[in-house]
Amino acid sequence: MKRFWGFVKKEFLHIFRDFRTMIIIFVIPAAEILLFGFVVSTDLKNARVAFLDLSGDEITRQLSEKICSSGFFRKSEDLLSFNDIDRELRKNKIKAVIVFEENFGSKLIGEGKAVMSIIADGSEPNMASLVTNYASAIVADFNNRLIQTSGSVNILVQPEVRMFYNPSLKSHFMFVPGVITIIMTLVCALMTSITITREKEFGTMEVLLVSPLKPIQIILGKVIPYFILSIADAILILILSWFVFGLPIKGSIILLLAELMLYILMSLSIGIMISTISKTMQQAIFIALVGMLLPTILLSGFIFPLENMPKGYDWFSALFPPRYFIVVIKNIMIKGTGFLYVWKETLILLFFTVTSIWLSIRNFKVRLQ
Amino acid sequence: MRTILYLIRKEFLQIFRDKFIGKAIFAVPIVQMLILVPAVTFEIKNVKVCIIDMDMTAESRGLVSKLEGSTFFHVRFSTYSEKEANDLLHRGKCDLVLQIPSGFGKETGQGRQGKILASVNAINAVNAQLSWAYLSGVIRDYNLNIIAENAGARTLAALPQIQVTNRYWYNETLNYKYYMLPGVLGILILAIGFVLAGLNLVKEKESGTIEQINVTPIKKYQFIIAKMIPFLIIGLIDLAIGLLIGKLTFNIPFEGSIALLFLCSAIFMTALLGVALLISTISNTQQQYMFTGFLFIIIFVLMSGVFTPSESMPVWAQKINLVNPAAYIMRINRMIMLKGSAFSDISRDIYSLIIIAAAFTALAVNRYRKTV
Amino acid sequence: MTDSTVISVTNLVKKFGSFTANDNLSFEVYEGEIFGFLGANGAGKTTALRILSGLLTPTSGEVIVAGYNAKKDPEKIKKSIGYMCQKFSLYPDLSARENIMLYGGIYGMPKVLIKKRTEELFEKLNFREYGNRMIAELPLGLKQKLAFSVAVFHEPKIVFLDEPTGGVDPITRRQFWEMIYETADRGITVFVTTHYMDEAEYCDRISIMNEGRIVALDTPEGLKKKYNAKSVEEVFVRIARPVNNQPHPPAPSHR
């Protein structure tokens, strides 16, 4: 045991001596949290729209002003003819064109009907549907007022809304937990798989294997320093997201830390598993980064809600542990729920941890034989 | 030139000698594209609703059935207990709780305003806003119906109305696969190039093979270019495979010029490999490279506007994006493939990319030291 | 052996921060000779060798190799030299043939010539069966012989060998030196560092380094005579030991 702790200490010194790696381990997550807390957002803001106003009357001017003063849209140069639409959209200068038909105002007053069409750039479907929805909502509001002023009828049902957990509708509430998860997953898996394959590639693993240390002790010795570093990292991220984004920790901090440790342990075990199946650092990094980057971003519910995925993907994304951890963090931090609400996810994460450790040991033994 | 060819040959030999990497550079993108492209959509359907109908009148039931009639909402629960509804929201069993207080029917029946309350899980702000927008739409229709009934059907037509029609150009059905494929493809190429090219150079440093190279009269630019070209070629092959899969399995439209797309991708890859090699010239170990590289990959990808609109980013972030090669290629890919944009439409982006590519490559050459 | 100078070093100093690795070295190497750099680990041999081959820039002093100044034109020097590092540095995941093809190509040799010489080389070394195997799979002795052959494959004017026989068995070392002799016979100047004293006996001239300085430079015979020793090893022990009564005072401590 004493020999083992000596080994851990040596590994620790090894990491600390590589000053640059140390900086990187702490600076990167911090930088990323800051960057993405501010940058990554799916909110509609200042989307450029152009108007093709074939009528040019008082009402169309009012309406276009109302659309642009909402903060969601920004007015781009007016178009003069239908032919301009394709040209402008293809240059990617605008997201949509709003067309008012000819004699819009007089039709609206005379016939009681006028048509406004929104031509949105469907190559970004999300943007397109946000644009049409928001613009339609603004027009609907305008309609309501028209009805009220013209017919003196009351709008009867008046809905009121409460936005739970995130009253100001900030997108960091969605993204900060996601970024924490991505960073923890990839950094931990990368760190462990690199550190172990490095020994293999440079032949120093053999030296360790003939030492009186047991293989399991060698692996643990390499992983424990990273485990401690990762926890420090995670705490740094939590403090940053609290101070900078006001992301609350509504639930129990102890529970949150325990879950974090479990998740870090799991990511480290995945890293170990990767290192048992790769011969060189290049292979390990390829698996940990190229293989895991996109699934972690896309199948974790970080940006794209899981509920929206097509049928059959439920079981598939179930194979990617980040999704469970995002649920856990959101529940504990933002909703403030207790263990009763996350026990299922916790159990699944535990299962992933045990499985990857078991697979690593098996692969390791196969190697040695 | 001949020297570069010898070096390129060597790089290719080494890449494919590693059986795993040789297969993975093609297999990983294919598998990921097939799986990930159809997986992802922002399209919201099945918002799970819990109803608390304390009113239980014809009017309240009318509103609920209106809600059930929309394809968007899915009434899963109905309860009389506010506590139970909140718990369902808490546990994520429902996304929206609609509460109709008692007296709603009476008020609206007498032509007065009846209030209802919607509680939305807003952790995902966009989903919340969209759900709310749809709910407002349903209620608006409901209102108009009542107004029309009250006023008699004859006058409904007389109510002034602006009708809104939506058209989605280039992707009429808002098929998300069309949107995802160019993006996913771009990211895969980025990750492969970044990881392999950068690691390759650092590995030579770490294992000492670079010393034998450095003592030869090889020019610095020759060495850097020879490190770029193989990964550039691999990236373009991956792109070709990806496009083929997109055409065959997802029937992605291809409006613009394929040659232009490949040209832009080649410039993008050059810029990217320039950054990768620049980082690797200043890293001593593969570990150092990978952590720095990881930072850049994440920044490039998440800031590129591939999954989230870059217009929503703060102004300073958009300025940073001016030097982010990924931001250009994500835009260009979609413009060429889906909108058929021609060279003249994207010329400014192409020139910017060329400048970025030239600058990073020059920096990498400059930072590469042939002395120890 | 002719008397024309191919390497001329005057007052070479190389400092790394406050540490002086090469302290005021001056020497000349003549065409076609085997010049040995002898010294303990850390004596500054590798540093000097790297400066001569253009891998390091000298702090001060004049270094002329194959007619070019090492400070101003290191890249021109590289055209006329061959180099074998202390650490084996051919590509382990390429075969011998592929490594030779690469380096031959880099030095601008025509492909046909590369192929012809490769065959000759393999014939000579009895290497044919290993030619297509990954270098990583070869035994150390073969690897070292191959690394040397690659270093002289393009027929450079000078070849620099940094501890070429480290960790190699005695028989292979013997064969290795035969290859060195053969190379010198072809008129290629051989500049070799070693800490094996017996190898020093094989050199035409040797220079003994200690703590960054050259403390002796002569033919092995000349040195033995001067220090009244039976072997170079004895000479070395006498000079390199920091004892007060030695003929050359030790370098003043730099730290």
Phi/psi class of residue B208: alpha, beta or left (left: φ > 0; alpha: ψ in -120 to 50)?
Answer: left
Beta-bridge partner residues of C145: none
Give the one of C55, C74, C93 whose C-beta lies nearest to B17's C-beta. Answer: C93
Looking at residue B305, what is its pLDDT?
A: 82
pTM here is: 0.84
CB pair distance less than 8 Å for A285 and B199: yes
pLDDT band at B152 (very low <50, low <70, confident <90, very high): low
- Diameter over CA atoms, chain C: 60
Where along chain A do its domains lie? Answer: 47-164, 170-368
Looking at residue A209, what is its pLDDT?
A: 75
Chains in contact with A, where contact requires at least 3 CB pairs less than 8 Å apart: B
CA–CA min distance B170, chain A (Å):
5
Taking only the tens place, the pLDDT of each residue in C124-159 is 888 888 888 899 888 888 899 999 999 999 999 999
Looking at residue B150, what is its pLDDT?
A: 67
Taking only the tens place, the pLDDT of each residue in B169-200 is 888 878 888 888 888 899 999 999 999 999 99
Angle CA B152–B158–B163, to nearest 5: 115
**pLDDT, chain A, mean:** 83
Looking at residue C255, what is its pLDDT?
A: 36
pLDDT band at B26 (very low <50, low <70, confident <90, very high): very high
Complex-level ipTM: 0.84
CB pair distance less than 8 Å for B216 and C134: no
Only one residue has tokens 């590469």, namely B368
Looking at residue C246, what is its pLDDT?
A: 44
Contact list in B for residue C98 (CB cut-off 8 A) is: 10, 13
Which string of DSSP letters, residue by residue, matches C5-51?
A: EEEEEEEEEEEETTEEEEEEEEEEEETT-EEEEEE-TTSSHHHHHHH
Cα separation, C246 vs C235, whole angstroms: 11
- Per the model's pLDDT, the better-predicted residue between C103 and C248 turns out to be C103
Average pLDDT over residues A270-299: 87
Size of interface A-B (CB pairs under 8 A): 399
The residue of chain A nearest to residue B173, with distances taken between CA atoms, is A122
CB pair distance less than 8 Å for A146 and B32: no
Q: Does A319 touch chain B (CB under 8 A)?
A: no
From the candidates B4, B210, B215, B372, which should be mutated to test the interface with C, based on the most C CB atoms within 10 A? Answer: B215
Cα separation, A121 vs B339, whole angstroms: 9
Cα separation, B251 vs C241, whole angstroms: 80
The residue of chain C nearest to residue B222, with distances taken between CA atoms, is C106
Cα separation, B353 vs B322, whole angstroms: 9
Only one residue has tokens 């990857």, namely A356
Cα separation, B127 vs B133, whole angstroms: 10
Looking at residue C30, what is its pLDDT?
A: 93
Looking at residue A312, what is its pLDDT?
A: 75
Beta-bridge partner residues of C213: C210
Taking only the tens place, the pLDDT of each residue in B115-125 is 888 888 887 77
Judge whether A295 and A320 are in contact, CB under 8 Å: yes
Q: Is the pLDDT of residue A289 over 60?
A: yes
Size of interface B-C (CB pairs under 8 A): 83
Q: Does B3 touch chain C (CB under 8 A)?
A: yes
CA–CA min distance B4, chain C (Å):
8
CA–CA min distance B8, chain C (Å):
10
Give the one of A129, A133, A310 whose C-beta lies nearest to B38's C-beta. Answer: A310
Q: Is the pLDDT of residue A130 over 90?
A: no
Q: Is the pLDDT of residue A319 over 90?
A: no
Q: Is the pLDDT of residue B303 over 80?
A: yes
CA–CA min distance B36, chain A (Å):
7
Q: Which residues of C17-42 are buried (b: 16+ CB within 10 A; e: fewer)?
A: eeebbbbebebebbbbbbbbbbbeee
- Per the model's pLDDT, the better-predicted residue between A4 and C94 turns out to be C94
CA–CA min distance B201, chain C (Å):
13
Judge whether A332 and A259 are in contact, CB under 8 Å: yes
Q: Does B243 touch chain A (CB under 8 A)?
A: no
Number of neighbouring beta carbons within 10 Å of residue C233: 15
Backbone angles phi, psi at B139, to 5 degrees: -70, -35
SS3 C59: coil
**pLDDT, chain B, mean:** 87
Taking only the tens place, the pLDDT of each residue in C160-203 is 999 998 888 889 899 999 999 999 999 999 999 988 888 888 99
Cα separation, C249 vs C255, whole angstroms: 17
- All domains of chain B, ordered by start, with CATH? 2-40+177-367 (no CATH), 47-158 (3.40.1710.10)
Q: Superfamily for A47-164?
A: abc type-2 transporter like domain (3.40.1710.10)
3-state helix, strand, coil in chain A (%, to 5): 70, 10, 25
Structural tokens at position B263: 């040209």
Q: Does C10 touch chain B (CB under 8 A)?
A: no
